[in-house]
Amino acid sequence: MSYICDLKKTLKNIYKIKIMSKINNSKFIKGIITFAIFLIVWLLPSTIFGIPDLTMTEQRVIAIFVLAALLWILEIFPAWVTSVLIIVMLVLTTSDSAFWFLKQNSDVTALGTLVSYKSYVRTFADPIIMLFLGGFVLAIATTKTGIDVQLAKVMLKPFGNKFNNVLLGFILVTAMFSMFISNTATAAMMLAFMAPVLKALPEEGKGKLGLVMAIPIGANIGGIGTPIGTPPNAIALQSLNELPNINIGFGDWVIHMLPIALILLFISWLLLRRLFPSNKKTIELDIKSTNKNEVPRRDKLIVSITFGVTIILWMLDKVIGVNSNVIALIPIAVFCLTGIIGKKELKEINWSVLWMVAGGIALGVGLNETHLAADLINAIPFNTWSVPLIILGSCLICWTLSTFISNTATAALLVPILCAVGVGMEDSLASIGGVTTLLVCVAISASVAMVLPISTPPNALAHSTGLIQQKDMEKVGLIMGTLGLIIGIGMTIGYNLLGIGL
């Protein structure tokens, strides 16, 4: 009997090895094709691009941009690995510290402008990276001390025990957490809280499906509310604040984007009630902490006060005159000094997301400082395009790409180009808020792309419960994505028409 069991295990392992081998072979072939396309773009005659006086340095940036797009879309490497590769390639081929043979050319005009290597390298510590770092540290500290569980209990308590009210509670509480904590971490935490609630529901009926779907919807849409809610927000904000005469603070973003998020969350609640009604009208909440270690009262007090003060300072950044990126350093300093955050906790920071964002910023640096972005604008007659076409087209492209690949990767690819487009046709866009409206709408589009399990990590986590079928996720995702685009674009433009835009 044991022999048969061992044989089954062996066959199972062989099957797994074959499957992994097929996957690895597929990635290898995709990688060969991708790098072949990169080399072709690198070596093509410059005249083929249709950009007058295209320099060698600008063509290298185009080739690296194409490489980044293909690697992110095909997921040959983890997204953050692609970002690191892109930054290194930009430094070694388009900067003043590039290989010597890439900087030697008798015709300086043909070579083009070489970017300072410091501009590329400092993207790893861009101010927006510090903002995210502060958000991650706050999330780790609240989880370690169990404050996240206490907050969830307090915030869910007002919703009572009626099913529809509890459903709304999970949507709003998930959204609130996702404004300050990673969407993935929020979804994982809330699904853990929901486990005992799901057990209390009968097998028949669709109530369980509605509750589980509430988590990815709350996490995805809630991220719209703050600059650190999701990486596309941060990428868009960083690009905008680099432009002259634009200074959008943390509080400014929240004031304008929170109403959009709340409207979409309320609509999603009505939609889930309609699509997934529960046979059981009342349920009992039983949220327990997953942290079994006793936490000193001192640590809880320090984290609670620091959490509250940081959020207040973020909201008042324009009033107090301290940049939100700088404010994000306060919890890092406090928690490190008090020992709440140590070496172990620092390892829990999602460094891959930070490096992913850095790669997008580096692409923007390359496009702008080699003057490729300006040359693209001059070569393509964007000024002849209608404003609705620019806004709607950009948002649909972003939404479509974000459905299939990381929304961070999508924003990293599109935002630098669209920022240049928006600046180039500032006069045409002026009536609806200029480049600010364009990039904010694109950021919203990335957040409402949640059709498939692969679209976002919260979707994948919800689907992994086994309670949600892909067709259910597709139905909800398509409806909320469409409404998200309409309401997001409409309200952003409406703010500017009323004279209260960002």
Q: Tens digits of per-residue pLDDT, 133-185?
A: 887 888 788 878 888 777 777 777 788 878 888 889 889 989 988 888 778 77
Highest mean pLDDT range out of 380-384, 403-407, 430-434?
A: 430-434
Average pLDDT over residues 267-275: 93
Residue pair 357/416 in contact by the 8 Å Cβ criterion:
no
CA count, 13 A, side-chain hemisphere, 100: 0
Distance CA 123, CA 87 (A): 9
Distance CA 341, CA 140 (A): 8
What is the amino acid identity at position 125? Answer: A
Partners of 282 in the β-ladder: 162
Q: Which residues, including other chains, have CB under 8 Å from residue 265's CB and lie 6 or more apart?
A: 171, 172, 175, 217, 218, 221, 222
Sign, CA torsion 385/387/390/396: negative
Distance CA 60, CA 57 (A): 5
Distance CA 204, CA 227 (A): 41
Return the higher-pLDDT residue of 203 and 401: 401
Percent of the chain with pLDDT over 90: 26
Return the higher-pLDDT residue of 52 and 107: 52
Q: By C-alpha distance, which of 183, 232, 78 is closest to 460?
A: 183
pLDDT of residue 92: 94
pLDDT band at 59 (very low <50, low <70, confident <90, very high): very high
Q: By C-alpha distance, which of 405, 502, 146, 196 is closest to 299?
A: 146
pLDDT of residue 257: 93
Q: Which residue has the tokens 């005159």?
A: 321
- Give the number of other Cβ atoms within 10 Å of residue 344's Cβ: 9
Partners of 115 in the β-ladder: 95
Distance CA 312, CA 320 (A): 11
Q: Which residues, including other chains, have CB under 8 Å from residue 411's CB and lie 6 or more apart?
A: 231, 232, 235, 236, 360, 398, 442, 443, 446
Is pLDDT at 68 greater than 80 in this prediction?
yes
Distance CA 314, CA 328 (A): 8
**In the numeric block, which tokens belong to residue 4?**
């048969």
CA count, 13 A, side-chain hemisphere, 392: 8
Residue pair 327/314 in contact by the 8 Å Cβ criterion:
yes
Cα 255 from chain centre: 20
User: Alpha helices of 242-385 — where are they, by DSSP H?
Assistant: 250-275, 297-315, 317-320, 324-327, 329-337, 343-346, 351-369, 372-379
Return the higher-pLDDT residue of 296 and 58: 58
pLDDT of residue 23: 55
Is pLDDT at 211 greater than 60 in this prediction?
yes
Return the higher-pLDDT residue of 211 and 452: 211
Q: By C-alpha distance, which of 148, 163, 268 is closest to 208?
A: 163
Residue 347 exposed, middle or buried by CB count within 10 Å (0-12, 13-18, 19+): exposed
Q: Could you write out the DSSP letters of every residue in 102-162?
A: HH--S-HHHH-PPBPHHHHHGGGG-HHHHHHHHHHHHHHHHHHHTHHHHHHHHHHGGGTTB
Is pLDDT at 106 greater than 60 in this prediction?
no
Q: Which residues, including other chains, have CB under 8 Å from residue 427's CB and lie 6 or more apart?
A: 383
pLDDT of residue 11: 47
HEC profile of 434-460: HHHHHHHHHHHHHHCCCCCCCCCHHHH
